[in-house]
Amino acid sequence: MKLFFALIVLSGILIVQNTIKVQYSIKASGDVSDFIYENEKLYVATMQGAIDIIDLPAKKILNQIKFEKIKDFQDNNIYPRVYSIDKLPGQNKILAVLQATNGYQDVFLIENKQKIKIKDAAKDRLMIKRAKFINADTILLGLFSDEIILWSIRNKKQIYKKQISTSSLSDYTVDKSRKLIITCDESGATYLISAENGKTIVKFEGLIKDRAFSVDYKNLVFISGGKDRKVAVYFLQGRKSYTINSGFFVLSVALSPSAEFGAYSANENGDVVVFNIKTKKKLHTLKGQNENISKIYFIDEKQIITTSNNEFIKIWKLN
User: 84-114 burial, b if ≥16 CB within 10 A, otherwise e?
Assistant: bbbbbeeeebbbbbbbbeeebbbbbbbeeee
**How many C-beta atoms surround the C-beta of residue 59 within 10 A?**
13
Query: Would you call 1 exposed, middle or buried from its count of C-beta atoms within 10 A (0-12, 13-18, 19+)?
Result: exposed
pTM: 0.92
Asked if residue 290 and residue 274 are part of one domain, the reply reads yes
- Of 138, 163, 188, which one is at a domain's C-terminal end? 163
What strand order describes the sheet that includes 242-245? 212-218, 221-226, 230-235, 242-245
Confidence of residue 102 (pLDDT cuts 50, 70, 90): confident
Give per-residue pLDDT as tens, 128-171.
Answer: 999 999 999 999 999 999 999 999 999 999 999 999 999 999 99
Predicted pLDDT of residue 2? 44
Asked if residue 152 and residue 44 are part of one domain, the reply reads yes
Predicted pLDDT of residue 160? 98
DSSP assignment of 6-23: HHHHHHHHHHHHHEEE-S
Nearest-angstrom CA–CA distance, 302 and 316: 8
Asked if residue 191 and residue 304 are part of one domain, the reply reads yes
Residue 290 above 90 pLDDT?
no
Nearest-angstrom CA–CA distance, 194 and 234: 18
Predicted pLDDT of residue 206? 94
- Segment 292-304 shows an average pLDDT of 96
> Domain containing 77 — which CATH number?
2.130.10.10
Asked if residue 234 and residue 138 are part of one domain, the reply reads no
Predicted pLDDT of residue 12? 41
- Of 163, 197, 214, which one is at a domain's C-terminal end? 163
The values of phi and psi at residue 114, to 5°, are -100, 135
> 105 lies in a domain?
yes
- Segment 82-106 shows an average pLDDT of 95
Q: Mean of the per-residue pLDDT values for the chain?
A: 93
* Domain coverage including residue 76: 33-163
Predicted pLDDT of residue 10? 39
All residues at 6 or more sequence positions from 17 whose CB lies less than 8 Å from its CB, including other chains: 319
Asked if residue 297 and residue 216 are part of one domain, the reply reads yes
Give per-residue pLDDT as tens, 5-54.
Answer: 344 333 443 443 489 999 999 999 999 999 999 999 999 999 999 999 99
Asked if residue 260 and residue 239 are part of one domain, the reply reads yes
Tell me how many domains the chain contains. 2
All residues at 6 or more sequence positions from 190 whose CB lies less than 8 Å from its CB, including other chains: 182, 183, 184, 203, 204, 205, 212, 215, 222, 224, 232, 234
Give per-residue pLDDT as tens, 220-273.
Answer: 999 999 999 999 999 999 889 999 999 899 999 999 999 999 999 999 889 999
CA distances 142 to 36, 172, 271, Å, are 17, 7, 29
Confidence of residue 72 (pLDDT cuts 50, 70, 90): confident
Nearest-angstrom CA–CA distance, 53 and 113: 12
> 211 lies in a domain?
yes
> 17 lies in a domain?
no
The values of phi and psi at residue 6, to 5°, are -65, -40
- 155 CB-side CA count, 13 A: 8
Predicted pLDDT of residue 309? 85
The values of phi and psi at residue 18, to 5°, are -90, -5
Predicted pLDDT of residue 73? 80
DSSP assignment of 36-81: EEETTEEEEEETTSEEEEEETTTTEEEEEEE---EE-TTS-EEPPP
